[in-house]
A and B are shown apart, each in its own frame.
Chain A
């Protein structure tokens, strides 16, 4: 198992946003986590990436414990993520945004930078290659020198993905990547995600509100409701699961 999360509990005041969630993700799959609003999806992704520290439970990535580590350490262990509300480095260029994540593979000293040594130049070249490769994977190669906050919304989402994969992580967490996109944009995004797995063999954990989007692309789906996992399986198993239909699909139908 690449990711093993056991008994994660996260409370806010008296409310348990996560109430003992287990999640095991094997290498190389696209795992989705779905659930109605307020079911704990975002809390789960924030707990995995270290934005929140869970009150109980353990999270292991490739055998290394993540609970209690600062977010940059977790990123260095091989976890990268995107955000539901886009968080780019708005004043940096598109290329520099991606370089920020890519540069951890080629550390240099401040002295190297000030004296512009060979080590610094080599590191910059390698960082640039990594960053350009990541931009090409999401199709943003031609926008490299634009300011990040000048990109249209859908491309900003792609830039977040490029930045995440430029770190060359073991696992990519996508927090509602299609939020706010048109159907066409969302379908193009799904194709890019599938491509990423094909081309760089990355493991993806996808948190998504839109069930239909998830069904076509995921290998496995976990369903959360009120901070508990109520079902897990392949997309066809999930579609038939009575508990899921009652808690989520059924409720949505009732609304419609």
Chain B
């Protein structure tokens, strides 16, 4: 117990001093993006990781949240109202998608969410009066609530870390509740779950909706910390990248989802000197993880630990 508290304390200190090491600038902005991606991938983990339904719509939910906040706050709405609106818009979109398609089995959600992602992208591009078209929305007001305005990237970092901590906490609690068990039961055997009294359709829709709300809220934070959004950030390519983060981190693992998202957002910066070759490295790394650790890094770490212990 004491060592656990010590480790937690050290982690907290580490997280707290990172911004002063990086200083205000590009790197902290990348780190903020990594934290936002972690929240989005945690959301994806509910429907894809726990419940086993492939969802290519997560980037679109993220985009809907970002544009809801961008449009609302530029029109003068208070930030908290925009936050609420972002979650609501994503939740409604997920219900509209999930209720009809999750009655069907297996790959139907994957197909409809690909279509959904494309629709969202096209609407963002062509509904120029509202969305600003391909040039997007600029000068989006910063996070401001309870009399605080969060202007700098360093200050945003602390807000985002807090949001991520809440996102992890809620994910852990849901995982260890009747809802989490019902989700994993639905993935492992839909027939047996249903015959154990689990309404599997409801569970799948709920998992999609919780994930969409995570993405929508992260979209709000994205718009109000980066201050600029355009359709490029919310394409199907981004959706595939989010799924890759989850697979590399470990589908169904909360800490794996966080690690995968932060790792895959930060690594391109570390390997920037590789230039075009980075994509080759990236592709090889994905293939390596899928062939050597199909459960993702989260499943590989315990294996490595036991091997090291055995070697000692």
Contacts and interface: CB of A to CB of B under 8 A. Distances in A.
Contacts of A110: 174, 179, 206, 210
Interface residues of B, number: 26
Contacts of A127: 178
B194 interface: yes
A81 to B, nearest CB: 6
**Chain A: interface secondary structure?**
helix
A231 to B, nearest CB: 29
B173 interface: yes
A167 B200 CA distance: 16
Given A113-B179, A114-B174, A116-B173, A88 B194 contact: no
Interface in A43-76: 49-51, 70-72, 74-76
A71 B206 CA distance: 19
B170 interface: yes
A124 interface: yes
Given A51-B191, A114-B173, A116-B173, A92 B196 contact: no
B215 interface: no
B181 A49 contact: no
A88 B189 contact: yes
Interface string B178-200: 11011011011101111111111
A31 interface: no
Contacts of A71: 191, 194-195
Contact of A72 (B170, B181, B199, B210): B199
Nearest to A81: B195
B177 interface: yes
B252 A72 contact: no
Contacts of B198: 72, 100, 104
6 contacts: A49-B195, A70-B199, A87-B192, A92-B184, A114-B173, A123-B178
Given A80-B195, A104-B197, 16 more contacts: A72-B194, A72-B195, A72-B200, A75-B195, A76-B197, A88-B189, A89-B189, A91-B187, A91-B188, A92-B184, A92-B185, A103-B182, A110-B174, A114-B170, A114-B174, A164-B196
Interface of A: 49-51, 70-72, 74-76, 80-81, 83, 87-92, 96-97, 99-101, 103-104, 106-108, 110, 113-114, 116, 120, 123-124, 127, 163-164, 167
